[in-house]
Amino acid sequence: MLVNTLLNVYSALPHTIRKMTVKVTTHDMMYMVQRFKKSNSSVKDMDWGLQNRLSRIIRQPKNRALMLAVDHGYFLGPTARLEDAQKTIAPLLEYCDSLMLTRGILRTSVSPITNTPMVLRVSGGSSIIGKDLSREDITVDIKDAIRLNVSAMAMSIFVGSKYEYQTIVNLGRLVNISLEYGMPVLAVTAVGKDMGKDARYLSLACRMAAEQGANIVKTYYCENFEEVVDSCPVPIIIAGGKKIPEKDAMELTYNAIQAGAVGVDMGRNIWQSDNPVPMIRAVQSIIHQDNDADAAWELYNQLIQET
């Protein structure tokens, strides 16, 4: 029992700690357990309701998360293969750990009898045809989030953009009100057209989000991603981004997990696939069953043959 517990702790540790030793001795394990406890001390200090909501999004015992993103319409409108949100979401809902969406789609397109936790997008204000996507504000009151029984609220920050100040201050305000109700906050480190996706920039954006009190940070995978993870004191999930080939998306997921991300918030690379259910199940196998990309690809093709 103790060995299994220690191994689970070991698998949940950041990449930089796991790679410290090849032969894992009892002494090494105890050292890593202490590091694990230290890295999770902030969780222990949280109120019960906040801990409970977070535990529904980031699943134990491995601290892993598969979030399905379907909030794209808040600035993109009717995105390809998400035109009928209810039809897109229904077959995928049982395979994700949580669903990220807007309140409009939640009320109109998701069955209220689901047990899947909801992560509510609460920021917006600009569209894809507008002048600046970074001009966002908080658009949802926390009372409506509670009324909808969501497990977290999400908003974007735009570090380095014209509206950097506005979005970061809004994150601080959202955290302030969320703390009163034990509601986790997911900060999305949005990247503008002229901003890079290197470790230096993403480390800055993620750390700033955590410093403002975000409980989870969503960002992009990049080269030297371990640096981003190790400089951020809260869990990181990666964005799936634009549609890429299925095998590439599996490799993205695997590499991110190996580098220390707790999971993914993937949308288009799942529901824009020609085989969305096999795709989400393949991604799920990487996150929760420790499959590598090759094993996930094999599972994906096997599931296609079975359908």
Tokens 């395979």, residue?
95
pLDDT at 236: 98
What whole-number distance in Å separates Cα of residue 102 and Cα of residue 84? 14
Instruction: Kindly report, residue by residue over 2-27, the tens digit of the pLDDT.
Output: 444 554 545 555 554 444 444 344 34
117, pLDDT greater than 90: yes
pLDDT at 111: 96
What whole-number distance in Å separates Cα of residue 189 and Cα of residue 209? 8
Instruction: Kindly report, residue by residue over 147-193, the tens digit of the pLDDT.
Output: 999 999 999 999 999 999 999 999 999 999 999 999 999 999 987 55
Min mean pLDDT across 19-28, 65-74, 273-282 is at: 19-28
pLDDT at 34: 41
pLDDT, averaged across the chain: 89
What whole-number distance in Å separates Cα of residue 187 and Cα of residue 208? 10
Q: Per-residue confidence at 307, pLDDT binned at 50, 70, 90?
A: confident
Burial class (CB in 10 A: 0-12, 13-18, 19+), 137: middle
pLDDT at 61: 92
Question: What is the pLDDT averaged over residues 225-247?
Answer: 97
118, pLDDT greater than 60: yes
Amino acid at 49: G
Q: Tell me whether residue 44 is one of the annotated catalytic residues.
A: no
Question: What is the pLDDT averaged over residues 108-115?
Answer: 97
Length of the chain: 307
Question: What is the pLDDT averaged over residues 20-43?
Answer: 42
pLDDT at 11: 54
Catalytic option among 218, 242, 243, 247 = 218
Amino acid at 302: Q
- Provide the percentage of residues in the chain whose pLDDT is more than 70: 84
Q: What architecture is domain 45-306?
A: Alpha-Beta Barrel (3.20)
pLDDT at 44: 59
CATH 3.20.20.70 placement within the chain: 45-306
Phi-psi region of 63 (alpha: psi -120 to 50; beta: other; left: phi over 0): left
Q: Per-residue confidence at 38, pLDDT binned at 50, 70, 90?
A: very low
Question: What is the pLDDT averaged over residues 94-110?
Answer: 98
